């Protein structure tokens, strides 16, 4: 069937509070994903794990991009779980566009 490219927007309901990209019950596994800070953001976004905060994590301003690509040549089981990725916004209602790929061989 091939690879499907999917996207969605994730915004933060509360400024300064970290939120998962995807709830664990809606687990999404992918070999690669990209986050792009929304072009309308006026503050910044931080990206990371469950410990992400306004002072740590990858820093994104409007339109900045964060990419994660797992090297399938090194590890045939390499994949990311989007429920393990968190963001925090400086300003309420700001966020990211999430792009990811699903292939036939990924368990969703």
The mean pLDDT of 49-57, rounded to a whole number, is 96
Binned at pLDDT 50, 70 and 90, residue 32 comes out as: confident
Predicted structure pTM score: 0.86
Q: Any residues with CB less than 8 A from the CB of 95 and at least 6 apart, and which? A: 9, 10, 11, 12, 37, 38, 41, 45, 87, 89
């Amino acid at each position: 069937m091939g690879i499907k490219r999917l996207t969605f927007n994730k915004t933060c309901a509360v400024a300064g509070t970290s939120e998962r990209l995807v709830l664990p019950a809606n687990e999404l596994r992918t070999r690669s994903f990209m986050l792009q800070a929304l072009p309308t953001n006026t503050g910044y976004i931080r990206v990371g794990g469950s410990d992400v905060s306004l002072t740590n994590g990858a820093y994104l301003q409007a339109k900045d991009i964060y990419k994660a690509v797992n090297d399938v040549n090194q590890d045939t089981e390499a994949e990311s779980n989007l429920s393990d990725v968190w963001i925090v916004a400086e300003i309420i209602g700001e966020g990211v566009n999430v792009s990811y790929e699903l292939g036939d061989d990924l368990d969703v």
